[in-house]
Amino acid sequence: MSARRVVGLETEFGISVLGNPTANAMTSSSQVVNAYATLHSRQRRPRWDFEEENPLRDARGFDLSREAADPTLLTDEDVGLANVVLTNGARLYVDHAHPEYSSPEVTDPRAAVVWDKAGELIAAEAGELASATHSQQIVLYKNNTDGKGASYGYHENYLMSRDTPFTRIVAQLTPFFVSRPVVSGAGRVGIGQDSRRHGYQISQRADFFEVEVGLETTLKRPIINTRDEPHADADRYRRLHVIVGDANLSEISTYLKVGTTSIVLAMIEDDWLGDPPTLRDPVDALHDVSHDPSLHTAVELVDGGTITALQLQTYYHDQAQAYLADRFGDDTDPMSVLQDRDNDPTEDELISWIEDLTDTEQAELVALFWLGRGDGDASDFQELVEQARGARVGKTSKYLLGEPLLPDYLEEALEALDVDTSEVLSNLR
């Protein structure tokens, strides 16, 4: 296993109304989401199913009672806030008085970057639409704090094997997360949660973390979050819900953040790392690392020694090189492991098949994709084919294979056209 695994990213956007500092953030956020949903509504808009959500299940082996839980943890309740599933498989909704974009699930770091950037464009358009609709200037920010004590999240989600002991995840991942800001920190002016001290630091989020391990996400934030809600076969998988990262505008930082974390998780699953350096106080170390842009600060280890964040990242880098050489050969380029889609024979064969279709067949395939995602109903199919003929989508294969939900959309389209999909599949075998 390399960097390839199911990944999804979530961004809570900061929000303000220019000239109106007392504006209700929840109302403004709802206006943003509803404005986008209204313009881009489909005839068959899917709704979010809360039935399988269990936000109080803890990876340490217990369920937190609803009575003891902070209300912000009860994300399995449909409280009627704006909430829309988008045609790209993402979700745009209101969460804790912020507009939030939750990307579609992908299987490699580059795709994670692509759909994260798509979320930025969607948020920008949604803010403009809401501003025009309500005659006020609503501004969205991709950051993690208002500089006055409030913080809002950027969460990463990684599918992991259930067979991996959670204690191993905590021990081997904590030093990586504490030092990761030197690669993927977004930068921040101000020291402390309320920016009371002047200065520049590496991470937007670091000052808001108070414990090493825990279930919370909005208070007593932990470096390792224990939420055990896999959205998959719970007997085989867990979803590692990472809340310690920054919201990056740099595509390179996001790419490295997701890619390197995926490789570290692969090493943890394969029990490759053994005993990495153990920090005496990971929370203090996270703060100290973020507060020193020079990268010279050394943090204490349990064995009495010290280590810098750069040295910690170098340790994981060296381990990854040895791991990849062991798994894929001595001449493996670490960056090629992140570029997971390269030299995929199955994908190459599919690209070749699509490009060998006639112009009419390619237009029909694009029309099926549009029909499946909700751009019309069965009676509109021929009109969609004509639109596809004139559309400037570039290479058809690149356009279609960039959509993670393409198989689902094609199946929905065929069913809408009363085509027996089982017969189609049997003919392909």
pLDDT digits (tens, 9 = 90+) for 57-79: 666 665 655 655 555 555 545 44
For residue 208, what are the β-bridge partners? none
**Taking the CB of residue 208, how many other CB atoms lie within 10 A of it?**
22
Name the nearest CA neighbour of 64 among 223, 216, 246: 216
Copy the structure tokens of residue 113: 């970057």
What is the sign of the dihedral through the CA atoms of 58, 62, 63 and 67?
negative
Tell me how long the chain is: 429
Helices (H), 270-405: 282-290, 309-328, 334-338, 345-355, 359-373, 381-390, 396-401
Query: pLDDT per residue over 322-338, tens digit each?
Result: 998 888 876 666 555 44
Q: What is the pLDDT of residue 87?
A: 85
Counting as low any pLDDT under 50, the low residues of the chain are 1, 76, 78-79, 337-338, 340-342, 425, 427-429
- Within 8 A by CB and 6+ apart from 287, the residues are 206, 207, 209
φ, ψ (nearest 5 deg) of residue 288: -65, -40
Under 8 Å between Cβ of 300 and 280: yes
Helices (H), 193-281: 251-269
Residues that are catalytic: 95
Q: What is the pLDDT of residue 62?
A: 56
* CATH code for residues 7-328: 3.30.590
Q: What is the pLDDT of residue 2?
A: 61
Q: What is the pLDDT of residue 342?
A: 47
- Within 8 A by CB and 6+ apart from 193, the residues are 145, 149, 151, 207, 208
Copy the structure tokens of residue 304: 């009495």
φ, ψ (nearest 5 deg) of residue 15: -140, 140
pTM comes to: 0.75
Name the nearest CA neighbour of 276 among 135, 170, 152, 187: 170
Query: How many degrees, rounded to 5, is the angle at CA 110 between CA 105 and CA 114?
Result: 70
Copy the structure tokens of residue 40: 């881009």
Helix axes 309-328, 166-179, angle to 10 degrees: 120
Under 8 Å between Cβ of 160 and 238: yes
Q: What is the pLDDT of residue 329?
A: 77
Q: What is the pLDDT of residue 336?
A: 53
Q: What is the pLDDT of residue 11?
A: 97
Q: What is the pLDDT of residue 20?
A: 94
d(CA 405, CA 290): 38
Query: pLDDT per residue over 1-14, tens digit each?
Result: 467 899 999 999 99
Domain spans of the chain? Answer: 7-328, 345-428
